[in-house]
Structure formats: C-alpha cells, structure tokens
C-alpha cells in the first residue's frame, strides 16, 4: 500500500511538472486562428468606370482628365480611398479586366475574377461629368460694364458590386459632387488648343467635385462588406 501511495504521489508530481509545458506549447495553436481571421478581408477588384450621358461639349476634359481620361482617373481615386480605408483587399484591375478590342468584356472579366477568388467586382458609370462657365455682366452707372465669372463642375457616379460567381448585384452606391470657382475664366470649348494652365484649372475643379462624389460612395461600399 505504501508503494502504491508513493507511486500515485510520484505520478501526480510528474503531471504537475509537465502541465505548464503543455500550456506553453498549446498557446500558439490557440492564437493562430484568431490572427488568421483578422487577416481575412473580402477581396474586390475595381474596374474603370464607363461613361453615360456626358455632354459632347466637354469631350476634351472627359478624354484627357488627369492625363488618362475620366473613366480610369476616377477609378484610380476610388481605388485609393478603398485601399486607405482597409475594409477590403483590393486587387489591381489589370489582373482582372479582359478587353475585347477597346471594350471591356464584362462576362470574361467576371470569369477571371471568379478564378482569382475575388469576392466582388466594382463596376459602374459616370452619369455626369460637366464643366460650365457662367459669365454675368451688369452695367454700373458712371462705371460702365462689369463682368464676373464662375466655373462650375458637377460629377455624378453610379457603381455596383457584382458577385463574379452568381452575377448577382450585391449592392449599389451613388454619389454626386459639385465644385465652383469664382473670379477666373476657364476656356471650355477649345479642345486640344486649351492651354496647360486652363487644363490644370479644369482638372483641379473636376477633381474636387469627383472627390466629393467618391466620399459619398465609399461608406456605402464599405457597409456592403458583411454581404460578401
């Protein structure tokens, strides 16, 4: 009996001695799944936006906005905002987009997105991209005719998140931005002959309006994360 008692006591001591070691070894296995879950973010791709009802009077600015055209320029601004937000893992559109000539092949693009395990593809339309210069002149007694200039920019965007597997529209978002500048005239109707200063002024005004539109869209896109 004394031998059994000594054996149980000895065994109990051995178990107590090894218990802390087992806890230390098990800890990394318990933490790893938590770290993995934190790193898992929905994967999205943002395609260049198409143009809708864009006035032909402003073709020059639409085609050459930010040196690459409104479709790609606005998409790049949207990509920057979503990357900085951090809710999604953003895939470069060049890895997903499939062109048929100069036109995006949406079906083939969604097929490729599915192959790359992309959770959603963002595509959409620039429904308005306008610049207007308003000149108002009045006759002031004893002074003569005085004029004031104001240039207005308006940008409207409409985007949708599409599931590349089911082709279902997961969510939509709309945004509009307006910007204006007083006291300076921007020539809007000279096409390629517009000076670099005027191009820069138009770009700055359109960018201000675009950023306002994107600020309205990004929260709606982020709120759709739980549906992916």
Full-model pTM? 0.69
Instruction: State the Cα–Cα distance between residues 228 and 219, nearest whole angstrom.
Output: 15
Per-residue confidence band for 31, with pLDDT thresholds at 50, 70 and 90: very low
Architecture of domain 42-227: 3-Layer(aba) Sandwich (3.40)
Q: What is the pLDDT of residue 42?
A: 95
pLDDT one-digit tens code per residue, 58-103: 555 666 666 567 778 888 899 999 999 999 999 988 899 998 887 8
Lowest mean pLDDT segment, chosen from 42-46, 134-138, 206-210: 134-138
Asked whether residue 144 carries a pLDDT value surpassing 70, the answer given is no
E strand or H helix at 44, and its extent? strand 43-46
Q: What are the extents of the domains in the chain?
A: 1-40, 42-227
> Does residue 131 or residue 53 have the better pLDDT?
131
Instruction: State the Cα–Cα distance between residues 65 and 76, nearest whole angstrom.
Output: 12
Instruction: State the Cα–Cα distance between residues 226 and 162, nearest whole angstrom.
Output: 14
> Does residue 216 or residue 14 have the better pLDDT?
216
Asked whether residue 19 carries a pLDDT value surpassing 50, the answer given is no
């Amino acid at each position: 009996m004394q031998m059994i008692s000594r054996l149980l006591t000895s065994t109990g001591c051995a178990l107590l001695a090894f218990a802390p070691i087992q806890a230390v070894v098990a800890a990394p296995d318990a933490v790893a799944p938590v770290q993995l879950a934190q790193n898992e973010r929905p994967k999205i791709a943002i395609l260049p936006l198409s143009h809708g009802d864009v006035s032909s009077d402003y073709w020059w600015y639409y085609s050459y906005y930010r040196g690459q055209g409104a479709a790609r320029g606005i998409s790049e601004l949207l990509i920057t905002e979503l990357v900085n937000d951090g809710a999604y893992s953003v895939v470069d559109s060049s890895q997903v987009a499939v062109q048929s000539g100069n036109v995006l092949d949406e079906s083939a693009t969604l097929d490729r997105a599915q192959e790359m395990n992309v959770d959603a593809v963002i595509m959409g339309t620039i429904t308005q991209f306008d610049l207007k210069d308003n000149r108002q002149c009045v006759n002031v007694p004893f002074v003569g005719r005085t004029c004031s200039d104001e240039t207005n920019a308006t940008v409207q965007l409409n985007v949708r998140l599409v599931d590349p597997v089911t082709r279902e529209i997961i969510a939509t978002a709309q945004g509009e931005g307006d910007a204006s500048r007083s006291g300076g005239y921007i020539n809007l109707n000279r096409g390629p002959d517009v000076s670099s200063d005027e191009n820069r002024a138009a770009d700055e005004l359109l960018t201000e309006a675009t950023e306002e539109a994107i600020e309205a869209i990004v929260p709606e896109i982020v709120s759709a994360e739980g549906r992916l």
